Amino acid sequence: MLSGVISRDVNNMPNEIERKFLVSSDGWRLFGPGTRYRQGYLSTVPERSVRVRVAGDEGFLTIKGKTVNATRAEYEYAIPVSEANELLDHLCERPLIEKTRYRISHRGLVWEVDEFEGENTGLIVAEVELETEDQAVALPDWAGEEVTGDPRYYNASLVANPYRKWAES
């Protein structure tokens, strides 16, 4: 994982445990510049997703398992940025996910705020990675409604059903 908590289940699989929230105000914007992300998916089936990402000047390949509650298996590997860009340009599903990510420390945890662009313009989501699902979390003032269990907010879902189309349906 780029910058998160890696926990392992009883089978020693790396897991991502995260909670996700809509952003309810602009208070998070006070915390400095973000990093531009460009990502796409080679697979978006519910049982697994395979993501290619360019974050700044680094490339990554990530495989994630099915989410159960707030947990899913996650494997992430650095790959040459030139190869990541080739995969994004030629093999990934459309539309690509374009966003700027801001990392914000709040009461001992690092929050990642994603401000989406392109087909998902207008969507701003904050997530926090945890050691356990029942870990206590002090919410920042700008954290709004929790959407952890809503698959519409998964980045892989935003490819098939971009945020801009939600108002149309």
Q: Where are the domains of the chain?
A: 7-166
* Of the candidate ranges 7-11, 53-57, 138-142, 164-168, the one whose mean pLDDT is the lowest: 7-11
Write the pLDDT tens digit of every residue in 17-52: 999 999 999 999 988 899 999 999 999 998 999 999
State how far the Cα of 11 lies from the Cα of 13, in Å rounded to an integer.
6
| Amino acid, res. 110 | V
**Catalytic-labelled residue, pool 37, 41, 102, 163:** 41
Write the pLDDT tens digit of every residue in 117-135: 999 999 999 999 999 999 9
CATH number assigned to the domain covering 7-166 = 2.40.320.10
The model's confidence at residue 167, banded by pLDDT at 50, 70 and 90, is: confident
Q: Would residue 41 show up in a list of annotated catalytic residues for this protein? A: yes
- What is each CA distance from 45 to 50, 91, 144, 154, in whole angstroms? 9, 16, 28, 12
pTM of structure? 0.88
Buried b (16+ CB within 10 A) or exposed e, 42-54: eebeeeebbbbbb
